[in-house]
Structure formats: structure tokens, C-alpha cells
């Protein structure tokens, strides 16, 4: 029987929809009708010329790869999509150029920018017109693994072109410590949520993330909170910087736990690696690479949704269920390290088969999909290192 007789209308429509989305991503100026027409043309060509279903799939994937490898003219034409780099207008009758704001040390006119769980970020313009982010910590919330003194130490040690620069630190009353950084307008999460980055910009940002990871891992530092919102930049064109070392770790640092007794309550919800979900305390830099794989998957996916779902309250069980449902429920053959996981076997999980990566990440470049696949391995020793990730074909795509 001809393979075409087994290829249903629904599957052909899914391929056309995937190609349409890709063509719109590759050219921000392309109208939907134009992208859909191009998608129908390529799908029809593959349908008519392929000699088998496998060849049809390869031809459609090749069309996706070619489209996503194209470097479109990037840029933002809508000011409503940008984070405005301005200070509040002065109050009527105020004689200064800017309203007074708050003062921290020598930083005046500090305006509230963001509230975190353990700190508050202010935006301040210095006398030389440079804009700074002033991070004021909240001492009574600084419980392990959060340690602002360690954060400052490791930031100084990790200084490099793709790690956020620590300008200075100073003490305030009440035991507060202020950390000062360059103010960067964007974080990667913001850009992804608003669909403000092209495929080539995404590739550049991810490359910068892996360069930062390669550097800090060489120093023995584990970041422990890799996620899109901790990748900052002043422009979607980059360069991108790794930020927020508040729970980072290094062996021998006075504020870090012993090597085999690391805290497992690290990372953010859906980016947490499976080994810490099962109580493994001797984890290494591969913890960051799992999270980086989650970032890669989110960055290249249509719609930029998180790959794994930890539920509305960030439940470990919900996250484990989501990982197992996606990658398949592991056993001692697919995850040999289960024997050293303290919490393995305490809960019996339904045995899910592994999904195909073509289904996990449809309508993405084959190289991008392969990069995510090679990072998101249960066995931490099988994950690509940051250096290996940088040598992956995804980053050599023209």
C-alpha cells in the first residue's frame, strides 16, 4: 500500500500548521496568509516527491531547519513592546530634573523597580548618567540556601564577559547589604513571553548562557537557579549575562554546604533537576545543565511554554509526574543512579512511555531539538557539559 494512503488529513494539517508558525517566526513581517501559502507549498512538494513517510518527515523537517536558520532583519518597531528606560516624571513644582526618590549610600534618586522574595531592586541614575540596579537584601529572609555575602564573593570570582558585573557592595543599617549592578532592561523570560526575539537572537542568547556556565563551572561554581528570568541583557541582540547568584555554591566557600550535603531545595519550580527531586545531595554542575536544557526547550518551542509543569503551587510531585509523562518513567536501566537517590522508591509512579522528541518539541529546528534532548537526560553523567553544548551543531547554524 502506498504510504500516502496511510497519511491522514489531520496529520498533513498539523504539518502545515507547524510550517506556518515557523515561517512567521523566521520573518516577523510575514502575514499569516503568506506564511500559510508557503507552508502549503512545501508540504505539498514533500507529499508529492517523497518515496516514503520517513522521507516526507525528513523533507518537512528540512524546510523547518532552513527557515529557522535564516537570519531575518531583527528589530522592534513597536515601542509598546519595549521596557522603557526612563525615570518617573518629576512632581509639579519639583526643582530638580528627577524626583528625589530614596537614597542608599551614595546612590540617590533610587526608584522601586522589582520586589523579590529576599530583596528589593531599585533603579538609580548616577551622576555620570549611568543607570544602576541597587539590590537591597532583606536580612531576616536570608535563610539557607540564600546567602548574600556568598553571592558577592562568588560574583567577584566569576567576573567574565557573560556574568553580570558586581559594581560594588556596601552596608546599610539593620544588617542590610546592598549590591550594585549595571541596570539591564530585559530578561530572557520577558522577551520570550512577548515573543520579542527571533530565532537567531535566541541562538545568540543561549550561546551566551552556555559561555557563562562554562566559565563558572570551570571555577567549581554551581549556579543552582538557571532560568530565563536570570538571563539579562540591554538589547534583544545581546550580549546576555547570567545573573542572580543568591543560592550559588562552591566547594570550600565559607558560606557553602559540604560537598555531599548540599541543600536540595534549590532551583525554581519547573527547572529543577530530577536528582534533587529525589533527595540527592551530592549533585554537581550537571544540575545547571538540566535547567539549561529546560531553558533551551522553552526558548525554541512554539509559544515558549515551560517544558515541564510543577502545578499551580510548584509541587515536587506534580513536577515529577510531568517529567515522567514527557520523558518516560525511568528505571535502573534508563537511570542507573536511582540506587543512590535517598527518596527513590518511596512513592510508586505510573509507568509512562517516553514521548518522541518530535512530539515533545514539534516545529522546531532539528539541531535545537537535539540540543535539548542531550541536556535533559535522567542520568546526570550523560548530559552535555556547557563546553560540549557550545560545540553542538545548533550553534554553528548560519
- Residues written for the chain: 398
Q: Give the count of alpha carbons within 13 A of 220, CB side only.
A: 7
Give the per-residue SS3 of 161-222. Answer: CCECCCCEEEECHHHCEEEEEECCCEEHHHHHHCCCCCHHHHHHHHHHHHHHHHHHHHCCEE
CA distance 368 to 54: 20
- For residue 239, is the peptide bond before it cis, meaning its omega torsion is within 30 degrees of 0? yes
Catalytic residue among 147, 208, 225, 288: 225
Active site residue 225: yes
Residues 282 and 260: their CA atoms lie apart, in Å, by 4
Question: What's the rounded Cα separation, in Å, for the pair 164 and 245?
Answer: 10
The rounded distance, in Å, linking the Cα atoms of 309 and 113 is: 28
Angle of CA points 345, 295, 299, to nearest 5°: 135
For 110-169, the DSSP string reads EEEEEE-SSEEEEEEE-TTS-EEEEEEE-GGG--TT--HHHHHHHHHHT-STTB----EE
Asked whether 247 and 221 are in contact (CB, 8 A), the reply is no
Question: 386 vs 203, 208, 225, 371, 397, CA distance in Å?
Answer: 15, 11, 15, 11, 18
Nearest CA to 201 out of 167, 231, 159, 171 is that of 231
Mind telling me the catalytic residues?
A: 225
Amino acid at each position: 500500500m502506498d504510504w500516502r494512503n496511510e497519511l491522514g488529513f489531520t496529520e498533513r494539517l498539523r504539518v502545515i500548521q507547524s510550517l506556518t508558525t515557523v515561517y512567521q517566526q523566521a520573518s516577523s513581517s510575514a502575514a499569516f496568509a503568506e506564511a500559510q501559502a508557503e507552508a502549503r507549498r512545501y508540504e505539498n512538494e514533500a507529499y508529492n516527491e517523497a518515496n516514503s513517510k520517513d522521507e516526507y518527515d525528513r523533507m518537512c523537517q528540512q524546510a523547518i531547519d532552513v527557515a529557522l536558520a535564516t537570519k531575518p532583519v531583527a528589530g522592534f518597531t513597536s515601542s509598546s513592546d519595549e521596557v522603557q528606560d526612563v525615570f518617573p516624571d518629576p512632581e509639579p513644582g519639583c526643582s530638580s530634573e528627577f524626583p528625589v526618590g530614596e537614597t542608599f549610600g551614595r546612590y540617590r534618586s533610587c526608584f522601586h523597580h522589582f520586589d523579590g522574595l529576599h530583596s528589593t531592586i531599585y533603579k538609580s541614575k548616577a551622576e555620570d548618567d549611568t543607570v544602576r540596579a541597587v539590590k537591597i537584601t532583606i536580612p531576616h529572609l536570608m535563610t539557607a540556601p540564600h546567602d548574600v555575602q556568598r553571592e558577592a564573593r562568588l560574583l567577584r570570582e566569576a567576573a567574565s564577559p557573560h556574568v553580570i558585573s558586581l559594581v560594588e557592595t556596601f552596608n546599610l543599617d539593620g544588617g542590610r547589604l546592598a549590591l550594585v549592578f549595571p541596570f539591564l532592561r530585559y530578561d530572557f523570560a520577558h522577551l520570550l513571553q512577548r515573543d520579542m526575539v527571533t530565532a537567531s537572537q535566541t541562538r545568540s542568547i543561549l550561546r551566551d548562557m552556555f559561555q557563562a556556565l562554562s566559565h563558572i563551572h570551570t571555577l567549581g561554581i554551581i549556579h543552582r537557579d538557571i532560568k530565563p528570568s536570570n538571563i539579562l541583557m540591554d538589547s534583544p541582540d545581546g550580549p546576555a549575562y547570567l545573573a542572580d547568584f543568591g543560592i550559588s555554591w562552591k566547594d570550600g566557600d565559607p558560606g557553602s554546604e559540604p560537598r555531599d550535603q548540599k541543600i536540595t531545595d534549590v532551583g525554581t519550580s519547573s527547572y529543577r533537576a530530577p536528582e534533587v527531586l529525589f533527595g540527592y545531595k551530592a549533585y554537581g554542575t550537571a544540575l545547571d545543565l538540566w535547567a539549561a536544557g529546560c531553558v533551551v526547550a522553552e526558548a525554541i518551542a512554539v509559544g515558549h511554554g515551560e517544558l515541564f509543569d510543577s502545578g499551580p503551587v510548584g509541587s515536587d510531585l506534580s513536577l515529577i509526574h510531568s517529567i515522567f509523562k514527557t520523558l518516560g518513567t525511568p528505571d535502573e536501566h534508563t537511570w542507573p543512579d536511582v540506587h543512590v537517590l535517598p527518596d527513590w522508591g518511596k512513592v510508586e509512579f505510573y509507568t509512562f512511555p517516553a514521548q518522541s522528541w518530535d512530539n515533545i518539541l514539534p516545529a522546531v529546528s532539528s539541531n535545537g531539538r537535539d540540543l535539548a534532548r542531550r541536556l535533559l537526560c535522567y542520568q546526570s553523567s550523560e548530559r552535555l557539559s556547557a563546553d560540549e553544548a557550545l560545540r553542538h551543531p545548533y550553534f554553528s547554524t548560519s
